[in-house]
Amino acid sequence: MSPRKRYWLMKSEPDDFSIDDLARVGTEPWTGVRNYQARNFMRDGMRVGDGVLFYHSNADVPGIYGLAEVASTAYPDPTQFKKASKYFDEKATEATPRWFLVDVGFVRKLAAPIPLSEIREHAADLGEEFALIRKGARLSVLPVSSAQWKLLLSLEKKR
């Protein structure tokens, strides 16, 4: 029996990498995560085929803009080893990497974004454990339950 599919929300600033960029390239390594909890979600929790809500943070209208899927198992983030990278980590070595990533593959853009303001309107239904709307939560990668995934996708406005 195969393991149950998991779901995630992954944030990216659209000026750095947007859902349109993912649509253009198809698959992309999710580099630059420098939070241990987010790293652990990618390294220990994600499996190929898991669903991803692609969230634009620091945008005019922050929200969910598309769907993606986990396209690889976790592997060391190569940016940690490159001195010229803003994600360089002098304590990381090839033998003992500190940061891991997964590749993310494009599935589709939403017909219209699901804005954070609308997501907040459904806070009671999403539950207190939903980190996106919890005060002080700033993770760039966070788990989404199956029920939360269904609820969030039900908010998509069809054109």
- Per domain, the residue ranges of the chain are 7-153
Query: Does 159 have pLDDT greater than 70?
Result: no
The pLDDT tens digits for 57-110 are: 999 999 999 999 999 999 999 999 999 999 999 999 999 999 999 999 999 999
Q: Which residue has the higher pLDDT, 20 or 130?
A: 20
Instruction: Copy the structure tokens of residue 81.
Output: 């080893």
CA–CA distances in Å: residue 72 to residues 9, 27, 109, 115, 126: 16, 10, 20, 28, 28
Instruction: List the Cα angle 20/108/26 in 5-degree steps.
Output: 60
Instruction: Copy the structure tokens of residue 39.
Output: 């790293």
User: Quick check: 102 and 30 in contact, CB under 8 A?
Assistant: yes
Pick from 127, 129, 123, 116: nearest CA to 53: 116
Question: Within 10 A of 91 (CB to CB), how many other CB atoms are there?
Answer: 7
- pTM of the predicted structure, to 2 decimals: 0.93
CA 116/CA 114 separation, integer angstroms: 7
Question: Which CATH number does the domain 7-153 belong to among 3.40.1080.10, 1.10.10.10, 3.10.590.10, 3.40.50.1390?
Answer: 3.10.590.10
Q: What is the mean pLDDT of the chain?
A: 93
